[in-house]
Structure 1
């Protein structure tokens, strides 16, 4: 199916909306117990587990990033201060250990170049899940991504994962990636030699008809080397599956469900655009309606409107 022309503003809106949908939907499955209850008898069959959509730090930190980029030229210290501000206002839910430590370090007066975690324990996906807004700002460079990452995650795989998400969304914005060509091949030349790049190479060696469940077996937890390549592969299925079925399959594999679905949504949404523009392959109205019912929706909408004139 041919994609119609979309403006950067339309892709920006869709990126945030679909990322938030993936986050909220995925969070309802986060940490669901897998313990067996085979000895329990349920009259009429086992009832489904309750599912409550909720926005988490995946979307919250992305919105914080948008606010900083829209207000002024990017400075790592300003982004870190915005995270601290959100934390004090109790706007952040489900913070990862690296980001939480960075916030606490900043409150203790530590310079942003020294905050957060470093080494193998800093290889989480917290930087990748909030990097999307940078793809819509023309002045962004690899060094920008590096600084935006290291305020919380001082680790090469964490940086490479953020860079991969950034370039995936950039490829959608510029239509270098159309949904029909090989996204991973487009990303590889831009990435440093890391475990993250090696995983993408591994995935690229699989058949293009490989299923989401099959690739999930390589890893889909909160380790950036697992979650980000998995999410990028899943996003390449968007035209074949549509957003609803795509997110359903991503979440069904388990792992870090909210972040995986959020990153998939950000990349896929940047390609597709908002509801109505691409008919059934766009954002399904039912998913958008569920997002609108959340108390954070007005916040998401206000950030989109405020940033509308700032994107490239």
Structure 2
């Protein structure tokens, strides 16, 4: 059964928030610690026994905060307005509401706060973090039927903070993955990767070539695949000190996609795969969760975790549901599915 646009958007936001919150307690930790956390805590139903820093269990980070702010801006402006979204990014930093801030995004936020226009505030190469990609998921639902507009919005929202073509490509990849993931009930991994590569091809060739290697990596055990993916696309000196998947946009987006593609019909396994190999696991689990949540809907996300999701006691699951309802109503009024988006394959795999 196909999901409504509202359920897909709520699933995307909720799937991201839960993945983000579960990864937060072990963010930046090495593979050994993250694997033990997955096996001894998450698989045993003990997630609530571990929290991050001084936050109550269920707190999500900047990845979900900024994805949520994008949707709030979309609702307030009746569509995507990069200048308005830039102001929201600046405000959440200036007001001290951000959780787990990214260095590149923070620097851009302060430039925005000082009056630098949205299209001039973003960091250029070699700033290739995953900040833009981590908040791009909802775009894939809001612009599901308009591939060109979806890619433009994903690219523009990335450029507010990250202008390196690889960072832009990562944002387009996540938005496109969310769109493609929900377009078929029977899922074909090979066709999905091919369609996704075509979506990203005009953005950055190197990123596209890395995407095309996903079917090969999917034949490997997660820890073997993680070793190769962690090194994919790295230039000299870029993010090489990380143990696990770094915030480098190419490897972190690839790992989120790998995690989803290993179990496209099992949200929980997707999140566990994203976290188990260590590194920037709140972000990889957030991105993987956004894709899986958009495909499978809110009912596929463990209810015992959903009820604890929050942002310092606010913006809980009910609030995200209300936001998804308001945004989906606007999307339905302003987009027309006259030409369905390319299918990601109809045969099972």
TM range (shorter): 0.7 to 0.9
Q: Which moved more, 1:4-13 or 1:86-95?
A: 86-95
Local SS of the residue matching 1:120: coil
Gaps of 5+ in 2: 34-45, 52-56, 231-244, 333-349
CA RMSD across the alignment: 2.5
CA positional deviation for 1:244: 2.0
Q: Does 1:230 align with 2:255?
A: yes
Report Cα offsets for 1:7-27 as digits up to 9, x if no partner. Answer: 111111111111100000000
Q: Does 1:163 align with 2:153?
A: no
CA positional deviation for 1:146: 1.9
Quote the Cα distance in structure 1 between the aligned partners of 2:313 and 2:28. Answer: 23
2:136 aligns to what? 131
CA positional deviation for 1:239: 4.0
1:284 aligns to what? 302
2:269 aligns to what? 245
Quote the Cα distance in structure 1 between the aligned partners of 2:325 and 2:312. Answer: 18
Over 3 Å counting, the alpha-carbon distance change for 1:204 and 1:155 in structure 2 is: same
Q: Does 1:205 align with 2:216?
A: yes
Q: Does 1:190 align with 2:190?
A: no
Report Cα offsets for 1:48-96 as digits up to 9, x if no partner. Answer: 9962142100110000000111122322111100112222332211121
CA positional deviation for 1:117: 1.0
Q: Does 1:181 align with 2:186?
A: no
2:5 aligns to what? 8
1:215 pairs with one of 225, 236, 242:
225
Kept after mapping to 1: 8 A contact 2:246/2:252: yes
CA positional deviation for 1:286: 2.4
Quote the Cα distance in structure 2 between the aligned partners of 1:168 and 1:136. Answer: 10
2:335 aligns to what? none
Alignment of 1:1-312 (within 5 A): 4-32=1-29, 51-52=50-51, 53=57, 54-72=59-77, 73-121=79-127, 123-138=128-143, 140-175=149-184, 178-182=186-190, 183-191=192-200, 192-206=203-217, 208-218=218-228, 219=230, 220-239=245-264, 242-275=266-299, 282-291=300-309, 295-296=313-314, 297=316, 299-312=319-332
Quote the Cα distance in structure 1 between the aligned partners of 2:172 and 2:311. Answer: 32
TM-score scaled by structure 2? 0.76
Quote the Cα distance in structure 2 between the aligned partners of 1:149 and 1:292. Answer: 25
Kept after mapping to 2: 8 A contact 1:115/1:152: yes
CA positional deviation for 1:293: 10
Over 3 Å counting, the alpha-carbon distance change for 1:159 and 1:230 in structure 2 is: same
CA positional deviation for 1:257: 0.4
Local SS of the residue matching 1:247: helix
Quote the Cα distance in structure 2 between the aligned partners of 1:144 and 1:225. Answer: 19
CA positional deviation for 1:302: 4.0
Q: Which moved more, 1:165-174 or 1:150-159?
A: 165-174
